Structure 1
Amino acid sequence: MEIAYSFDRIPTAQQIIELYNAAGLPRPTHDEKRIQQMYENSNLVVTAWVGEQLVGVSRCITDWVWSCYLADLAVSPDHKTTGIGKRLIELTKEKVGEQTMILLLSVPTAMEYYPKVGFSKENRSFIIHREK
């Protein structure tokens, strides 16, 4: 099984929805238009493919010189232990460069994963939650 990574291949909203649902990522997958807009308004997307099947994605918003918000990291459950998530993060780091920090909000089920792939836990963040 060969994994192909891409910065240029943007998946369809339906492919994204299928991946998010399979991975258990809590996103508005009932709203295809919103998912499409999430990707249209992101400026760094790294994808992982097995043939035509989307098996992983890293979706970010960045200014390229100071900060990069890793908004979504999802890997197909069938490929969870193959290092795809770690590789997507590595490629994201390579693309934004050494001057840029990568930050994220973790889903509760991934809190133990991120320290294993190089993130340090921070206790100084704030959030205004979405209403919808």
Structure 2
Amino acid sequence: MAIVWSESLTALDWQELENLYRVAPLGNKNARDLETVFRNSRYHCFAHEDGKLVAAGRALADGVDTSYICDVAVLPSHQSLGLGKEVVQRLMKLSAGHKKILLYAVPGKEGFYQNFGFLRMRTAMAVFENPAQAIERGHVFPD
């Protein structure tokens, strides 16, 4: 497996990225929306094998205070090979110097991120477009 890493959006196939997120599975995110969020993110990380996109992630960052790692995805055929770990490590390295690095984990995946030093927050809160779905998926807890 010869993996080629990139941080560039220049030659990225947005349809291929859409497919990655759908099959990873990280939800149905359309190519146009993914292009918007990746272009508005300070850091990006992509892994290609034989020209095929197999892993991706991004971080929103302000350059000083906070970097937020999000949308880490790996093709199912390439999961458990260390690619997700490498994406997170690369985004953390790019985020070095920020006072804090945050991330939002899929419920059940918290242990994966704890291996990088991430700790649970007691004060994190969120407003979701679909609160009922967020509660059902375990992302937030109703009071």
TM-score (norm 1): 0.86
Cα-Cα RMSD: 2.0
- 3-state SS of the aligned residue for 1:108? coil
Deviates more, 1:47-56 or 1:1-10: 1-10
* Runs of 4+ residues over 3 Å off in structure 1: none
Count the aligned residue pairs: 130
Task: State the shift of 1:56 in Å.
Answer: 0.7
- 3-state SS of the aligned residue for 2:81? coil
Please state if 1:104 is matched with 2:103. Answer: yes
Matched to 1:108, the amino acid is P
- Cα separation, partners in 2 of 1:110 and 1:32, compared to 1, 3 Å: same
CA contact (8 A) 1:19 1:74 kept: yes
Q: Partner residue of 1:119? A: 118
Task: State the shift of 1:9 in Å.
Answer: 4.4
CA contact (8 A) 1:13 1:36 kept: yes
CA contact (8 A) 2:57 2:87 kept: yes
Unaligned stretches of 5+ residues in structure 2 = 131-143
Task: State the shift of 1:3 in Å.
Answer: 1.2
Task: State the shift of 1:13 in Å.
Answer: 1.7
Q: Partner residue of 1:2? A: 2
- 3-state SS of the aligned residue for 1:112? helix
Task: State the shift of 1:130 in Å.
Answer: 2.4
Q: Partner residue of 1:85? A: 84
CA contact (8 A) 2:56 2:73 kept: yes
Percentage of identical aligned residues: 26
Q: Distance in 2 between matches of 1:25 and 1:34?
A: 14
TM-score (norm 2): 0.80
Q: Partner residue of 2:71? A: 72
Unaligned stretches of 5+ residues in structure 1 = none
CA contact (8 A) 1:64 1:97 kept: no
Q: Partner residue of 1:45? A: 44
Residues 28-81 of structure 1: per-residue CA shift (max 9 Å, x gap):
42x332222122222211111112111111111101222111121111111111
